[in-house]
Structure 1
């Protein structure tokens, strides 16, 4: 793999030493590409949600396995439908039986016969069309309906319409969603081969940080970042390793990083990535691994540290990756979503589409937004639906990187791109919705 120094040296610089968000994302994808987990295991469907498929899943059966009805109604041979008939013309058929789901109806049929059929029931041989029961008039064993309400073949599902036997049902690298679990179940498979969970260690840094349960003290704040990072990693489906709080002591920091590298594939820290006198990460990483500090042209979250820590043993084919995030709570979440989440998804084995950043929604800005070109800004926003138009988004009044309450209240981030300037009221903007992401 390319060294971190090689990757960092190739990054295009913009204003002073700041890097664009796109350049950092591309470089992180290159950095973690050789570090994808390869160990596999088989899990039951109930344990497969969010896991990454280890191989292409080939369908052992066709789904559905037979032609069946898409409606409750009456099945008949659509060849009797006239191609040219008066507007008030109706069809009359003799009902000779009932086809229920789960069993084949094998009675004898002659032209003009129909079979009452339930949704999902096998189509009787020779019948190819279903008239929904709400269009029908029934008198004794006769059913009639206007012929203009359907065409031959309507309301019939074909065998293999969803999946054909022998064809790939899901691709390797697919992150299994609830819909994917249902698809696997439709194949009759009780479990799936998946890649093992990515192990991620995380901790907070700083002498000013208090753990929950400690009494308040002047100048100190409680550790919110550790719980935010825990939630982000857990929702991503990682195996999380909480290493607690590390105070501003280089010996303790070095020991914690070495332990994290032994136990995890990736490490996420918050705080300690600036150039303050008590920020020891740079010196420690020069001793135990390799570190690059990047100033990213973004707001919030300008400082970002990326490191590699060597590991020993055959079970560790490459180094552990360190993501050093800023200390401000909102900056932690934004940099995680922009950089760490896509990189971890790649390390989990997700294919390109599954590891891409969350898709952006177009919305109209409810008011003007000030924006300086030359950096990407992520502003907390409140998106609401508007009948007959694009959704509308309103940005939060206080965009400070320490204001976590607005992150709780917001339902998305307004993404103002690198070259974008001020936004006028009513102008379209991109929004990253939080649903399913944080």
Structure 2
């Protein structure tokens, strides 16, 4: 009896859409000090209760004047006051100038600042001479030109970086309401895996390899603001995999595994997840990264479900599926805005004469001529291709590449920021 044909693999775009349709932002939020909020996701809009700047102020060291008094070079005015930052001066009368410093409030009556470099000493010691005419409004920062009262300056879902924290501080906000960090359980499967430090390279048993995936996956999860529980290496036995999934589901929002999601007899993750929940995605039409799985695991001692992601065991496959699928999932859990990676159209300084039936992500590096060089070994197990490269070419299925063709380049720096 012949087997029914396997359904076609799901495209990457369809897989991402399907995956995100299962994700709702986590409910928890917390208040954190603005000084400690770098990298967090804002949980509510920030609306300004004040003007920034709060008052008209000088953007240069110099002299505050009435522009009508300095309509041409050579005019000398009496300096009647000195206004440092943090102090308000007296109203400026016609024919007077005020020595003023950057950030100081512009005195009433003045409508221009003449920078110090455009002045010189006058014959009388209490005067200053201007070597250029003054234009109304020059070198004055107006109240509210940065932020007006009532403006929404930061939006819910925005990732907070140094500039955002500085803006929040300029509004007097010592604390910000942010999304709670996703709790993620991470483990690898495979009897062949060994942790660095446990066994010296010279003493590695036949068939053993060091667990590299654990290191870059933890780093990627931390960069996305997750609280990570590292559950280590789980043996290639179904009962051990089931036990690890049960423990992880009860205390975490997301379970991320590496390895064991292919179709071999020692790949136990898929049936283990199906016994405890369900799989919604399995196998994607991409290279590297075909054996990707997404689903959920029921909690036994708590309500609800834990999301599950099964990444391939080959390191490049695991790395690429994380960037393309897991990163958007984690951002969605935090209610963060989703931004597609920046793409650049650059010439290929290599050839790809044989097309693949799957969408390929080729590890490349920009060269001094403005083109892209291809790493010679594109195997999914060659992690040096990711270290050597500074991005990937997103090559459609069935597409060959000739030297000089414009290709779609996705830089790693954008993904890893």
TM-score norm. by structure 2 comes to 0.89
- Residues in 1 aligned to 2:192 and 2:96: alpha-carbon distance in whole angstroms: 83
Q: Which segments of 5 or more consecutive residues in structure 2 lack a partner in the other structure?
A: 1-5
Which whole-Å deviations, capped at 9, do the CAs of 1:227-264 have from their partners, x for residues lacking one? 11100001111000101101110011001011111111
Equivalent pairs counted in the alignment come to 404
Q: C-alpha displacement at 1:164, in angstroms?
A: 1.7
Deviation, structure 1 residue 429: 3.0
**Is residue 127 from structure 1 mapped to residue 110 from structure 2 by the alignment?**
yes
| 1:8-48: CA deviation from partner (whole Å, max 9, x where unpaired) | xxxxxxx961222211111111111x3x1111211112321
State the alpha-carbon separation in 2 of the partners of residues 278 and 142 from structure 1: 87
RMSD: 2.4
Alpha-carbon shift at residue 274 of structure 1 (Å): 0.7
Task: Tell whether the 8 Å contact from 1:17 to 1:295 is kept in structure 2 after alignment.
Answer: no
CA contact (8 A) 1:337 1:357 kept: no
Match of 1:225 among 195, 198, 213: 213
Deviation digits for residues 258-317 of structure 1, max 9, x if unmatched?
Answer: 111111101111111110011112221221110145332211111211111122577x5x
Q: Residue 307 of structure 1 corresponds to which residue in structure 2?
A: 295
Q: Does 1:327 align with 2:316?
A: no
In the alignment, the residues of structure 1 paired with residue 83 and residue 397 of structure 2 have an alpha-carbon distance, to the nearest angstrom, of 62
Offset, 1:90: 2.0
The secondary structure found in structure 1 opposite 2:165 is: helix
**Structure 2 residue aligned with 1:163, among 142, 147, 153?**
147
Q: Distance in 2 between matches of 1:370 and 1:347?
A: 41
Residue 424 of structure 1: how far off its partner (Å): 3.3
Take 2:180 and 2:266, find their aligned partners in 1: how far apart are those partners?
Answer: 37
SS at match of 1:253: helix
CA distance in 1, matches of 2:11, 2:400: 15
Distance 2:67 2:405 in 1: 53
1:287 lines up with 2:270 in the alignment: no
Match of 2:364 in 1: 381
Quote the offset at 1:403 in angstroms.
1.2
Counterparts of 1:396-411 in structure 2, within 5 Å, are: 396-411=375-390
Spell out the pairing of 1:33-44 with structure 2 (5 A cutoff): 34=24, 36-44=25-33
Q: Which of 12, 19, 35 is the equivalent residue of 1:28?
A: 19
Structure 1 counterpart of 2:45, from 28, 34, 56: 56
In 2: Cα distance, 1:422 partner to 1:202 partner: 38
- Structure 1 stretch displaced more, 245-254 or 206-215: 206-215
| SS of aligned partner of 1:160 | coil
1:207 corresponds in structure 2 to: 191
Q: Which moved more, 1:166-175 or 1:411-420?
A: 411-420
1:32-431 pair list within 5 angstroms = 32=23, 34=24, 36-79=25-68, 90=73, 92-94=75-77, 95-106=79-90, 108-139=91-122, 140=125, 141-147=127-133, 151-212=135-196, 213-214=198-199, 215-311=203-299, 316=303, 318-351=304-337, 355-370=338-353, 372=355, 375-383=358-366, 391-418=370-397, 421-425=400-404, 427-431=406-410
SS at match of 1:268: strand
Q: TM-score, normalised by structure 1?
A: 0.85
